[in-house]
A and B are shown apart, each in its own frame.
Chain A
Amino acid sequence: MTRETAAPVPVRSVHGRTVRARPNNAMPPTHRNLGLTSPWHVGALAAVAAAALVLGVSSMTRVDPRQLGGFGLVQALPPSYFVALALSLAGFVASLSLRRLIPALLTWQILVAVIILHGPDPIIHGLPRLEASFRHLGIVDNIVQSGQLDANLDAYFNWPGFFSLLGMLSAAAGVEDLVGIATWAPVGVNVLLLAPLLALAKPLTANPRHAWAAVWLFYLTSWVGQDYLAPQAYSFVLMLALLACLLSVFNGWAWPAGRNRFSAWLARTVSRLDGPVPRQGILEPSRANAAILVVACALVLVAMTVSHQLTPFAVIPILAAFLLTGRLRLRFLPVLAVVVPVGWLLFAASAYVQGHFAQLFGSFGDVGANTFGVLSDRVSGSAEHRFVVYARLAEVALVWGLAVVGAIAGYKRKVPWLTAAAGALAPLVLIPAQPYGGELLLRVYLFSLPFAACLAVLPLLSVKTAGLALQRALGLLLIGSVLAATSVVTRYGNDGMESFSDDEIAVVNHLYSTAPTGSILIEAVRNTPWKSQHYADYDYRALVAGEPSSTAATFSCEAANQIARNSGAYLIVTESQREAVDLRGATSPEDLEQSIARCGTSPGWTKVYENAGGVIFHIEGVSNGK
């Protein structure tokens, strides 16, 4: 692996003083005057990361998932986990402080940080995170079994790209069970993000040190957890690779600067505000190669469109931002980025759009409802849950605050900042569109994070390219430690309801083995690790929504009896459902327990199965159930 530098290294004497090299009295090259790091120094830094990895993984394997409390995983993690995290952070900062960067060493340090920060779910629980992971596995299973799409089943089948991809992998490899892939998806997705993130950060920052620091900061602050086995995680990888390719290969103004008054004004304004366009990461391929890359970018855009509803629409404002800051010379690509997803909505997903028009466009333009309305719904539930939500808001505020300071620092130092700032702000354009099931703010934060991270590191690093002063290194370590520790709380604060146990899986499996195909299956609260099989074979219902809302129903025997009135039904109540109620406050946990106990003894209700993970009831209908 080559070593990276962005400027000639001054020749220094062994005493650290700069000396003038004399042609007739040339000094023999040493590691120091070449700016190289001695092998034992590199080895020691790599060993620190290895020690952090071993300590981190061994700490995670010692965690008892039953000790998860209201604050999530942070209560169950032993102190040695945080020692491992601190070692990893210090190792990265020390590696970043070397006079010449060693990409292999920095990659190793970041991979260790990724496993320590994003590996707890697979290592501790050994099961996929979030009930949506199980649902997604069920959609893949449905496609594999039928080889077709039932667009009327639900919205997923109108954007089937990601599921078809997994279906092809599963069927061609003859592997029916993709639970292992779903379990390790958070680590895998973050590892896959590394190259696109670095490729994107390079043309957005002044030198490689800034780019590496930005990537590191992204991982420390990526708490939103959209890295499970899901179309959004997949599309995010494609999006970052697409943006990196466009910035690196098609950099420049899309029109001549003096073409009209607007373009002249724009070019003047950008050159006055921004630093010079960085050369690092910028490529100039031949015309033929550039044409091939345009086709490749278009294919990536189409693949993203067929896989996820939101991500292609996030790309549009970001491309517009690149265009207006003189960093994208392909004028037609933003147009294509509009035409492809809109065309998909109108033609391929038209059935879904017609059936959900009010849901899709009902709150268009209502910024208040899509921001404060969603936030007020989120800040609810138990005191611990509210603390976690406030911690998330504080972390977002800190990252965006650092990004603002970084933008100001970039402007003052005349280093590139404008495109990163425009890229960070561009996803905010999505806010007036719709609340996206209350998740839009999370997604906006994620879309803006790669750009915000490039800005946030600016005040923490010097413009000089060789080495990192002690004060700046300590500052970077301090900020990194605060953000990483906060992320352990913000990312895993809901772990009680987002993770599942083997007992819960056993309850679900028993339900499938008991209930005949076509039965109505009711979950007391919408948070069950089911549907990973038999996605279309049963009639799935939920009594209480997972999210609190003013119109949300509360659990009652009557509601369950009403659903089971004709043909009977099976009701499943699991531990993670109870956790969801407790954390989010969709209904009172005590009321839920009392209602279930009362319902269980009422006529027509029979307890079918029970273990530590949950309970199944059969409710008889008029026709004596199925």
Chain B
Amino acid sequence: MANERNYVSYATATVAVAAIPLSFFGPGDLRLAVIGLLMLAGPGTALVLLLRLDPPRSVQATGALPLSIAIAIAFSLAMSTLVATAMVYARLWSPPAGVCLLSAATLGLLGFELKRSRRALAGAK
């Protein structure tokens, strides 16, 4: 379980970091795939990792994976929408800056998650 979380964290961080240069230059299809993935699931995945929604396995409570995915997608899309809409209304239209902002939010949430994990680990020791 911890391994799965780590893999998802690394993948999310990779997408968030890669999206920053790709929002300025790079092959079109790669830019579309990476930036699209960030806007679709980046900040939300980081949020879900931070929240640790998985309940303990029990007879009644089954995995929270569908809810985690739903929150990850909805929160990412909402953040992307609000950033883009704010830029248009503020007449500060700069899509690469918007993508950088989303990457920063994703990395920030991942940073909090890392901090929380370390604190929990220290508490367990």
Chain A residues packing against B (C-beta within 8 Å) = 2, 4-8, 103, 143-144, 147-149, 160-162, 164-165, 167-175, 192, 194-196, 198-199, 202, 208, 234, 237-238, 240-242, 244-245, 248, 279-285, 289, 292-293, 296, 299-300, 302-304, 306-307
In the complex, residue of chain A having the shortest beta-carbon distance to the beta carbon of B25: A174
Q: Let me know if B63 and A241 touch, CB within 8 A.
A: no
Instruction: Give Cα A307 to B60, complex, Å.
Output: 37
Q: Is B87 an interface residue (CB 8 A)?
A: yes
Instruction: Give Cα A199 to B74, complex, Å.
Output: 13
What are the residues of chain B within 8 A of A196 when measuring CB–CB? 66, 70, 73-74
Instruction: Give Cα A280 to B55, complex, Å.
Output: 10
Pairs A–B under 8 Å by Cβ, sample size 18:
A6-B62, A160-B88, A164-B85, A167-B88, A168-B84, A168-B87, A169-B35, A172-B96, A173-B22, A173-B31, A174-B26, A195-B70, A199-B70, A202-B66, A241-B71, A292-B50, A299-B78, A302-B78
Instruction: Give Cα A168 to B79, complex, Å.
Output: 12
Known: A160-B88, A165-B84, A167-B84. Is A174-B62 also a contact (CB below 8 A)?
Answer: no
Among the listed B32, B61, B70, B93, which residue makes an inter-chain contact with A173, where contact means beta carbons less than 8 Å apart? B32
Instruction: Give Cα A195 to B47, complex, Å.
Output: 17
Among the listed A6, A162, A169, A285, which residue makes an inter-chain contact with B60, where contact means beta carbons less than 8 Å apart? A6
Q: Is B16 an interface residue (CB 8 A)?
A: no
Among the listed B39, B67, B84, B95, which residue makes an inter-chain contact with A283, where contact means beta carbons less than 8 Å apart? B67
Chain B residues packing against A (C-beta within 8 Å) = 22-23, 26, 28, 31-32, 35-36, 39, 47, 50-53, 55, 57, 59-67, 69-71, 73-75, 77-85, 87-89, 91, 93, 95-96, 98-99
Min Cβ gap B40→A in Å is: 8
What are the residues of chain B within 8 A of A164 when measuring CB–CB? 81, 84-85, 87-88
Known: A169-B32, A169-B36. Is A285-B51 also a contact (CB below 8 A)?
Answer: yes
What are the residues of chain B within 8 A of A280 when measuring CB–CB? 60-62
Question: Which 7 residue pairs across A and B have the least CB separation, nearest first?
Answer: A147-B93, A241-B74, A303-B78, A164-B84, A279-B60, A195-B69, A171-B95
Main secondary structure of the interface of B (DSSP, over half): helix
Known: A165-B81, A292-B47, A292-B51. Is A241-B73 also a contact (CB below 8 A)?
Answer: yes
What are the residues of chain A within 8 A of B70 when measuring CB–CB? 195-196, 199, 240-241, 244-245
Q: Let me know if A245 and B67 touch, CB within 8 A.
A: yes
Q: Let me know if B85 and A285 touch, CB within 8 A.
A: no
User: B22, B85, B87 — which one has the most chain A CB atoms within 10 A of its CB?
Assistant: B85
Instruction: Give Cα A195 to B85, complex, Å.
Output: 26
Given A195-B67, A245-B71, A296-B74; 17 other pairs, CB 8 A cutoff: A7-B59, A148-B91, A164-B87, A167-B84, A169-B35, A169-B80, A172-B96, A172-B99, A173-B36, A199-B67, A202-B62, A244-B70, A281-B61, A284-B55, A289-B51, A292-B51, A300-B78
User: B28, B65, B67, B77 — which one has the most chain A CB atoms within 10 A of its CB?
Assistant: B67
Q: Let me know if B88 and A303 touch, CB within 8 A.
A: no
Known: A168-B83, A303-B82. Is A237-B74 also a contact (CB below 8 A)?
Answer: yes
Known: A148-B91, A168-B83, A292-B51. Is A237-B67 also a contact (CB below 8 A)?
Answer: no
Min Cβ gap B90→A in Å is: 10
Q: Let me know if B62 and A208 touch, CB within 8 A.
A: yes
Known: A172-B95, A281-B62, A283-B53. Is A143-B71 also a contact (CB below 8 A)?
Answer: no
Min Cβ gap A560→B in Å is: 36
User: A199, A244, A285 — which one has the most chain B CB atoms within 10 A of its CB?
Assistant: A199
Among the listed A167, A172, A244, which residue makes an inter-chain contact with B35, where contact means beta carbons less than 8 Å apart? A172
What are the residues of chain A within 8 A of B32 when measuring CB–CB? 169, 173, 175
Among the listed A4, A147, A173, A303, which residue makes an inter-chain contact with B91, where contact means beta carbons less than 8 Å apart? A147
What are the residues of chain A within 8 A of B82 when measuring CB–CB? 161, 299, 302-303, 306
Among the listed A148, A172, A237, which residue makes an inter-chain contact with B88, where contact means beta carbons less than 8 Å apart? A148
Known: A6-B59, A161-B85. Is A199-B73 also a contact (CB below 8 A)?
Answer: no
Min Cβ gap A83→B in Å is: 31
Q: Let me know if A143 and B88 touch, CB within 8 A.
A: yes
Instruction: Give Cα A587 to B119, complex, Å.
Output: 72
Instruction: Give Cα A482 to B66, complex, Å.
Output: 28
In the complex, residue of chain B having the shortest beta-carbon distance to the beta carbon of A177: B28
What are the residues of chain A within 8 A of B71 when measuring CB–CB? 241, 245, 293, 296
What are the residues of chain B within 8 A of A292 when measuring CB–CB? 47, 50-51
What are the residues of chain A within 8 A of B66 when measuring CB–CB? 194-196, 198-199, 202, 244, 281
What are the residues of chain B within 8 A of A174 when measuring CB–CB? 26, 28, 31
